[in-house]
Amino acid sequence: MIRLILSRIGQGAITLFVLITLTFFLVRAMPGSPYAEEKAIPEHALKRMKEYTGLDQPIPIQYLRYLKNLIVHQDLGDLIKKDGVKVSEVIGQSFPVSLSLGLLSISIALMIGIPAGVIAAVKKNTYIDYICLTCAMIGICLPSFVIGPLLAVAVGLSLKSINVAGWSSPGDWILPAFTLGLINAAYLARLARGGMLDVLSQDYIRTAKAKGAPSTRIVIRHALRGGLIPAVAFIGPAFAGMISGSFVIETIFQVPGMGQHFVNAATDREFFLIQGLVLFYGFLIVGANLLADLAQIALNPRLRKA
């Protein structure tokens, strides 16, 4: 077990190194420049600005400097377009927001998705199943930029206690959390249903039924454990995705989270910010996958011996 964890951590470190190297060179291969502006910057000013950020150096030297700063000083660098603002500051201010939103959303997703999936599987081919499946399909098909504004108009504009956007009071968390949660709930419901159906047709369930065990006990005690494996595997990366923010949700609900930085950093060619965010996101994904692996091992005894 410990060996497995150590090997996963080692793999994670290599993944992160490859990730940061690829990101470094890919962002510099993009057309355009961080200094492209509608009002053209005079040549001599441009030269000074590049000197300040170190972007006047050849790319291999920039790469070595970046690695040195990262490893020796744990410094992710400064923003190119905002003088004196550090990448770590941007992540430090926006991550707690995305984390709160992500935690609330994943709770909503679990609260709706798992029971819906389990009930649909138990009541297979009944109208309850069809309703759950239809809702899940709608949830998957409707993008957040449709659900979000609809919720904002239907709930936010009509209820005085809920703001349509912003992040100043806890009431502001509800709409973005529901929008983000509902979409993931739909995926979870389908995965939970599929997993449960698989398990419910197994011999040991038939045996339990034959022995006269009550159906709630069969579902909760015997089937749920195996049936949730696909859903648990999905939760890890989905959770990492949720806590690293969503551009669309943040734009619709004016949430100062991390997601908008991903998109804006790419369009603004904020090289250091893109690199910092990718590294941070990679770190989250590697961590979340490790946790998901451990959870799967806990759920599936066969994996423990593997």
Site for another protein in 107-126 (CB under 8 A): 107-108, 110-111, 114
Give the binding range for another protein (CB under 8 A) out of 20-28, 135-143, 193-201, 255-263.
255-263
Give the binding range for another protein (CB under 8 A) out of 29-37, 130-138, 197-205, 280-288.
29-37
Alpha-carbon distance of 204 to 62, in angstroms, equals 60
Cα 283 to Cα 64, 274, 290, distances in angstroms: 21, 14, 11
Q: Helices marked H in 201-246 — which ranges?
A: 203-210, 215-217, 224-227, 229-243
**86 pairs with which residues across the strands?**
78
Q: Helices marked H in 30-126 — which ranges?
A: 43-53, 59-73, 87-122
User: Which residues does 109 contact at the CB level (< 8 Å), separation at least 6?
Assistant: 180, 181, 182, 183, 184, 185, 188, 238
Give the binding range for another protein (CB under 8 A) out of 56-64, 69-77, 89-97, 119-127.
89-97
Residue 253 or 281: the one with the smaller Cβ distance to another protein is: 253
Contacts of another protein in 272-301 (CB under 8 A): 294-295, 297-299
Question: Minimum CB separation from another protein for residue 77, in Å?
Answer: 12
Q: Is 174 in the site for another protein (CB under 8 A)?
A: yes
Contacts of another protein in 189-208 (CB under 8 A): none
What is the chain's length?
306
Q: Is 31 in the site for another protein (CB under 8 A)?
A: yes
Contacts of another protein in 131-170 (CB under 8 A): 149, 152-153, 156-157, 160-170
